Structure 1
Amino acid sequence: MIGLRQSMLKSGLLAITALTVVAVPAAAKKASTSGPVITMSEGFRAAAQAADSAIKAGDTNTAQAQISGLMPVSDYEAYVAAALRFELAVLKRNFQGQRVALTDMFKTNSVPKKDAPRLRYTAGYLSYVVGNYDDALAQLDYAKTLGYDGIDATMLRADIYLRKNKVKNARPFVQEALARQRASGQAIPAAWYDRAISLAYAAGDWAEVGALYRERLARYGSAGEWRSALSNYMTAPGTDAQPQLDLYRLQAANGAMASERDYQAYAQLAEKAGNYAEAKAIIEAGRSAGKLTPTQAVTASLMKSVTPKAAKEIAALPAAAKKAAAAKDGSAAMSVADSYFSLSQFPQAVEMYRLALSKGGVDQGKANARLGIALARSGDLASAKTALAQVTGNWASVAGFWSVWVDQQSRKTAFQPVAVPPAS
């Protein structure tokens, strides 16, 4: 962050005086309606030009010699001398020197009014860099009274409060910065999301953690990003096993299973839910990926337990589906749908989830969430989006994460190249 802001300082602020030094004629004196009287002697102007040229050439020794020899006698010459010291300090990456030079510039009456707000922000940034946080806040307040209230100033306030170990004070500024960036239509940097997520995490605001992760994934959706987001989100206290299972399914759908822990936790949740064939398939996938070994104790024991149960689970499905169709409520159909889902038989799962919803007596949030996921995995992305949008309550976060995945799949489908057959 420091490097980014420093480059902005160089590009946006530091050439203020150099152009002025070159442009003002010898011993010029003129009254300006928009600024102070400009007065420079011929000798001062020549030395200032030499210093400016040396700075542009990266010759710090010559620049330092020329600047040290400057003897300002007017307010404007004092301003130019301070500005040249500022530019030299930037060339040397001397933050303390930059801050001192800015103070000297502010002591004059020659700072252009149009530059004053931004320069005050710069002073705040430099005070932050050198560790003078109270002055940094004071300078930002001053900049705001002069009309400078950019998003960079908002984020800088957050950084300052974090350095002061005042996390609760920092969070509203990060939230404000994200809101303003969204309103501007500009992309939010990944680092801003990370800062906001860490603050929401520290505050125990899991609703915001989930919302921010989903928004981040919509922009930055690599397999690694998915794993990080879902792994961190699943640490939320009180997260039920069933929603966790669907988040592991989402992690797998993104190719984001990356460790022994991922496969082991997923398989254990599937087994706990009675999805023995799914647990078996996950262990086999982990072994194929080189993340699990046949001798790994937990999954080896689990594999031995679920293998015979998986065969019985599959064999019992046709009769269970027939029984569910004749049942008075949808609970049996929901159970059968979950079994089909766990076997990746998504069209059959869709049919049974719809039957469960039509009969009633089931958790609407869970049913709609899994209906949406099953529709998505079967390729009906538009219907999936509709079903997931209806989910409320404890399953809303699961539906939200899967909705991001659906959107990503929709974009991939929309941009698939058309195969053109060769000319005969």
Structure 2
Amino acid sequence: MRFLTCVFAGLPIVSAAALLVATPALAKKKVAAGPVIAMSDAFRANVAAAQAALQSRDVATASARIMALAPMSDIENYVAAGLRFELAAQRGDVQAQRIALTDLFKTNELPKKDAPRLRYVAGYLSYAVGNYDDAVAQLDYAKTLGYDGIDALLLRADIALRRNKPKEARPFVQQALARQRASGQPVPLAWSDRAISMAYQAGDWTEVGQLYRERLTQAGAREDWRSAITNYLSAAGIDSQLQLDLYRLQAANGAMASERDYQAYAQLAEKAGYFAEAKSIIEAGRKVGKLTATQPATASLLKAVTPKATKEIAALPAQAKKAAAASSGKDAQEVGDSYFSLGQFPQAVEQYRLALAKGGVDAGRVNARLGVALARSGDLPGAQAALSQASGNWASVAGFWSVWVDQQSRKVA
């Protein structure tokens, strides 16, 4: 129920009762071709005393005064029910609130404009006491009367979850988020977290990524980045090159937080043939105390990649020359990837542009890495333009980097 905390705050249930007390003229009015509607003097006096006690939060006095009410007309029943509701609200007695609302609905005095919202409130109260069948019935009734707010959608989602029906809950949450976005208001983080959990359980990795990126635009602290990337990395079907770029993004955010982070990143870099990058990340992990020199896996890995890193760097000039003369852009893409792994981003930009010009490459992948290389080189507008051209499986990873570029742009501004 955490993402429904704002649903039931400040509900104006008893405004009619307060109005009747404050405006004696309403206690007696003539209706054309009908009887006089009146409240007795004794009833009106008890109402005024009860209302005063409620306003001062004197629950004992309010309870006594309300118990003394003896409603004889429809309008008196309406006012008494409103007072009982307010008393129950001050006591925190949800069951009594729900009963008072039922009594309110039995009268003919409830203003039509208030009925849709109050039917929703009735649904919420039934939900709160565990009567989910009545909660749904009240929400359906509220909808027929014209009330179908975002809070009602979220309440329906929570009811479905309480009934262990996540597949039924998810569309309601999706609709609520869509309406919130359409209103121009940010999506509350609690809603995002619920939607992410549902998408994760459903194996909808596209939506998981989209929701995490949206969330990071609001909450982009290191911990938020690590949580988003770590969870997204567990998505099925993400190949090693995509994983590698997500670890690079995690590192760029200073969000490497554990031995596992550094070890997994280094192993991915080594398997991809980026030996100098693997060496660099192991050394970085040791520097901040997340890896130790005696840690077996990374100690063995460091020993293996150190001589290879030297050869990798030495071979780059010849590879760049070969790429320039090649008929396709595949060699330039590989050289660009090598420069990228070394953190030599201007050189990587040059090679990626050459690869795109020559063709014969995965343009989605090249544009994604070109965008990152441009960003790390300081060209943030150019970076966004390139990232927007990423396609296929690379579009999602590029989207994460795009959020990061937006954050850097705000820092510069």
1:335 deviates by 1.4
Residue 96 of structure 2 corresponds to residue 97 of structure 1: yes
Q: Corresponding residue for 1:187? A: 186
Q: Corresponding residue for 1:7? A: 9
Compared CA separation, residues 28 and 218, structure 1 to 2 (3 A)? same
One-letter amino acid of the structure 1 residue matched with residue 388 of structure 2: A
Aligned residues: 411
State whether residues 260 and 292 of structure 1, in contact with CA within 8 Å, keep that contact through their aligned partners in structure 2.
yes
Residue 349 of structure 2 corresponds to residue 350 of structure 1: yes
SS at match of 1:250: helix
SS at match of 2:361: coil
Q: Corresponding residue for 2:390? A: 391
Give the Cα separation in 2 of the matches to 1:30 and 1:134. 41
SS at match of 2:52: helix
One-letter amino acid of the structure 2 residue matched with residue 353 of structure 1: Y
Compared CA separation, residues 32 and 159, structure 1 to 2 (3 A)? farther
State whether residues 29 and 40 of structure 1, in contact with CA within 8 Å, keep that contact through their aligned partners in structure 2.
no
Give the Cα separation in 1 of the matches to 2:359 and 2:313. 25
For structure 1, the residue ranges without an aligned partner over 5 or more in a row are 415-424
SS at match of 1:361: coil
Q: Corresponding residue for 2:31? A: 31
Q: Corresponding residue for 1:420? A: none
State whether residues 276 and 313 of structure 1, in contact with CA within 8 Å, keep that contact through their aligned partners in structure 2.
yes
1:26-65 matches, within 5 Å, as: 28-31=28-31, 38-65=37-64
Give the Cα separation in 1 of the matches to 2:231 and 2:27. 66
Q: Corresponding residue for 2:17? A: 17
Cα deviation code 1:92-141 (max 9, x no counterpart): 11111111110111111111112111111100111111111111111111
1:328 deviates by 2.4
Give the Cα separation in 2 of the matches to 1:341 and 1:73. 83
Cα deviation code 1:340-381 (max 9, x no counterpart): 101100000001111122222222111111111111111111
1:96-245 matches, within 5 Å, as: 96-245=95-244
Give the Cα separation in 2 of the matches to 1:135 and 1:161. 13
Aligned-pair Cα RMSD in Å = 1.9
1:32 deviates by 8.5
1:313 deviates by 1.3
1:318-397 matches, within 5 Å, as: 318-397=317-396
SS at match of 1:390: coil
SS at match of 2:10: helix
One-letter amino acid of the structure 2 residue matched with residue 28 of structure 1: K
Give the Cα separation in 2 of the matches to 1:223 and 1:216. 13
Compared CA separation, residues 325 and 32, structure 1 to 2 (3 A)? farther
1:144 deviates by 1.2
Identity of aligned residues (%): 70
TM-score of the two chains, using structure 2 as the length reference: 0.95
SS at match of 1:31: coil
1:25 deviates by 5.0
Cα deviation code 1:137-193 (max 9, x no counterpart): 111111111111211111111111111111111111111111111111111111111
1:88 deviates by 0.7
Runs of 4+ in 1 over 6 A off after TM superposition: none
Deviates more, 1:103-112 or 1:290-299: 290-299
State whether residues 158 and 169 of structure 1, in contact with CA within 8 Å, keep that contact through their aligned partners in structure 2.
yes
State whether residues 388 and 398 of structure 2, in contact with CA within 8 Å, keep that contact through their aligned partners in structure 1.
yes
Give the Cα separation in 1 of the matches to 2:55 and 2:230. 50
